[in-house]
Amino acid sequence: MPELPDVVVYVEALERRIVGQPLLRVRLANPFLLRTALPPIAAVEGKRVRGVQRLGKRVVLELEDELFLVLHLMIAGRLRWLERGEKAPTRITLALFDFPAGTLAFTEAGTKRRASLHLVQGKAALGAFDMGGLDVLDIDARTFRDRLLKENHTLKRALTDPRLFSGIGNAYSDEILHRARLSPIAMTQKLDAAQIDRVYEAVRTVLAEWTARLRAESGDNFPEKVTAFRPGMAVHGRFRAPCPVCGAPVQRIVYAENETNYCARCQTGGVILADRALSRLLKSSWPRSIDELG
């Protein structure tokens, strides 16, 4: 799922292309994408784009008459910019937004169709999509601490909870916790002041670094390689690869459709965290420490 750095770069690329432009036409290739009926989608046609913004992991197009198109990419949704006359990918395109300068294609790989499009009118209606999470790049250390300790969760869950923090998901939370040298299952209310400071600095540094990196990679082009698995990541998606800090093999915890990646030596004092499925299967053979892996 595109997270804060990816969405920020999407927003910046769209700002350069469509702000001030009229939205000529919306073409829905999949009727299930649109989750609202009023206002009708035709209401946006001919309206000028006043701005583009990030709302959590959503991309919001603000048009005249306080009309807002809210695009939620979910896991497999992506945005593509098509120059005039360029054909859209047929099988994965959900919607096309035509502008004088080109077309914005909303695509989604796979068949689960989780991505969504909402059209709402008025800032109050847009506010319903705000989960309440704070933007970690805009808050000070004390505000971060208060929000982190508001509820007692694992660090992984707290960082990815959209009610607590905005725009952080599975991939960048792994990178943040590796940078902070803390276990993903450490409980927030058991952290000491120094550990909380490490998380705060890691959150801000990792997100800022990756935003700058993705911005530099795309340059003036529209972002194309938006993925949760990037070669430069320290642990996310790098199961069994060497940790860039200590060289120990990266470990993982698999749950549902997600997984948490971490370095046992850097983050958990050498302890290999129990994977619910594998640890039950292996029982006494489940390795307890990174050293048992040889």
Task: Give the DSSP letter string of 33-85.
Answer: SB---SS-GGGGTTPBEEEEEEETTEEEEEEGGGEEEEEE-TTTEEEEEEETT
Distance CA 15, CA 101 (A): 12
Distance CA 98, CA 110 (A): 24
What is the pLDDT at residue 288? Answer: 53
Nearest alpha-carbon partner for 233 in 259, 210, 254, 204: 210
pTM over 0.85: yes
Q: Supply φ then ψ for residue 231, to 5 degrees.
A: -55, -30
What is the pLDDT at residue 293? Answer: 46
Distance CA 89, CA 43 (A): 26
**Common-topology check for domains 4-127 and 136-293:** no
Which helix (H) or strand (E) element contains residue 158?
Answer: helix 155-160
What is the pLDDT at residue 218? Answer: 93
Task: Provide CATH code, domain 4-127.
Answer: 3.20.190.10
What is the pLDDT at residue 274? Answer: 80
Structure tokens at 53: 């913004």
Distance CA 187, CA 171 (A): 19
Q: Where are the domains of the chain?
A: 4-127, 136-293
Burial class (CB in 10 A: 0-12, 13-18, 19+), 112: exposed
What is the pLDDT at residue 85? Answer: 84
Q: How far apart are the first and last CA of the chain?
A: 34
DSSP β-ladder status, 93-99 and 102-108: antiparallel
What digits encode the pLDDT tens for the residues 53-108?
999 999 999 999 999 999 999 999 999 999 988 998 888 999 999 999 999 999 99
- Block means of pLDDT (10 residues each) for the chain, 294 residues, are 94 97 96 94 97 97 98 95 90 96 94 92 96 96 97 95 96 97 96 98 97 95 89 94 96 85 96 66 44 46
What is the pLDDT at residue 256? Answer: 67
Say if domain 136-293 classifies as CATH 1.10.8.50. yes
